[in-house]
A and B are shown apart, each in its own frame.
Chain A
Amino acid sequence: MTRIALRTHINGREYSLDIEPQESLAEVLRDRLHLTGTKVSCDVQVCGACTVLLNDLPVSACTLLAYEVRGREVLTIEGLADPSGELHPLQKAFIEENAFQCGFCTPGMLLAAKSLLDQQPNATDAEIVEYMEGNICRCTGYRPILAAIHRAQGGP
Chain B
Amino acid sequence: MPTLLPRFTIDQPETLAEASQLLQAYGDEGRAYAGGTELLLAMKQGGLRYAHLVDLKTIPGMNGIDTVNGRLRIGALATHLSVERSSLVRERLPILARMEHRVANVRVRTTGTLGGNLCFGEPHSDPATLLLCLDARLHTTERDLSLEEFMVGSYEVALGPGEILESITIGTLADSQRAAYEKFQVHEYPMLGLALVLDLDGRAEKVMRARVAVGSVSPTPRRSLAAEDLFTGEVGDTAGRLHQAADALADDAELIDDLEGSADYKRHLIHVFLERAWKQALNTQA
Are A and B co-members of a single complex?
A: yes
| Bound CA span A149–B107, Å | 19
Within 1-38 of B, Cβ neighbours of A (below 8 Å) are at 2-12, 36-37
Q: Is there contact, CB below 8 Å, between A22 and B5?
A: yes
Determine how close the nearest CB of chain A comes to the CB of B95; give it in whole angstroms.
Answer: 18
Total interface residues in chain B, CB < 8 Å: 26
Q: Contacts A1-B10, A1-B11, A2-B9: A22 and B4 contacting too (C-beta < 8 A)?
A: yes
Residue interface bits A14-57, CB-to-B below 8 A is 1, else 0: 00000011111011000000000000100111101001001001
Segment among A63-71, A78-86, A140-148 that sits at the interface with chain B: A63-71
Q: Contacts A45-B41, A58-B110: A21 and B104 contacting too (C-beta < 8 A)?
A: no
Contacts of A65 in B (CB 8 A): 10, 36, 40
| Bound CA span A2–B8, Å | 8
Asked if A133 is at the interface of the complex by the 8 Å CB criterion, the answer is: yes
Determine how close the nearest CB of chain A comes to the CB of B61; give it in whole angstroms.
Answer: 18
Contacts of B108 in A (CB 8 A): 45, 60, 134
Q: Is there contact, CB below 8 Å, between A63 and B41?
A: yes
> A57's closest neighbor in chain B, by CB?
B110
Contacts of A44 in B (CB 8 A): 41, 44, 188
Count of chain A to chain B residue pairs whose CB atoms are closer than 8 Å in the complex: 78
Determine how close the nearest CB of chain A comes to the CB of B162; give it in whole angstroms.
Answer: 20
Q: Which of A43, A46, A54, A57 contacts B105 (CB 8 A)?
A: A46
Q: Is there contact, CB below 8 Å, between B2 and A4?
A: no
Contacts of A133 in B (CB 8 A): 105
Asked if B111 is at the interface of the complex by the 8 Å CB criterion, the answer is: yes
| Bound CA span A20–B4, Å | 12
| Bound CA span A51–B106, Å | 10
Within 149-168 of B, Cβ neighbours of A (below 8 Å) are at none
Q: Which of B40, B44, B105 contacts A134 (CB 8 A)?
A: B105
Contacts of B41 in A (CB 8 A): 44-45, 63
Contacts of A99 in B (CB 8 A): none
Determine how close the nearest CB of chain B comes to the CB of A98; give it in whole angstroms.
Answer: 25
Determine how close the nearest CB of chain B comes to the CB of A115; give it in whole angstroms.
Answer: 8
Asked if A62 is at the interface of the complex by the 8 Å CB criterion, the answer is: yes
Determine how close the nearest CB of chain A comes to the CB of B191; give it in whole angstroms.
Answer: 15
Asked if A90 is at the interface of the complex by the 8 Å CB criterion, the answer is: no
Residues of A within 8 A of B (CB): 1-2, 4, 20-24, 26-27, 40, 43-46, 48, 51, 54, 57-60, 62-65, 67-68, 112, 115, 131, 133-135
Q: Could you write out 19 A-B pairs with CB less than 8 Å apart?
A: A1-B10, A21-B7, A21-B8, A21-B10, A22-B7, A43-B44, A44-B44, A44-B188, A45-B107, A45-B108, A46-B105, A48-B105, A57-B106, A58-B110, A63-B36, A64-B36, A67-B10, A115-B106, A134-B105
Residues of B within 8 A of A (CB): 2-12, 36-37, 40-41, 44, 53, 81, 104-108, 110-111, 188
Extra 16 A-B pairs, beta carbons < 8 Å, given A51-B107, A134-B107: A1-B9, A1-B12, A20-B7, A21-B10, A22-B5, A27-B2, A40-B2, A45-B104, A46-B105, A57-B106, A59-B111, A63-B44, A65-B40, A133-B105, A134-B106, A134-B108
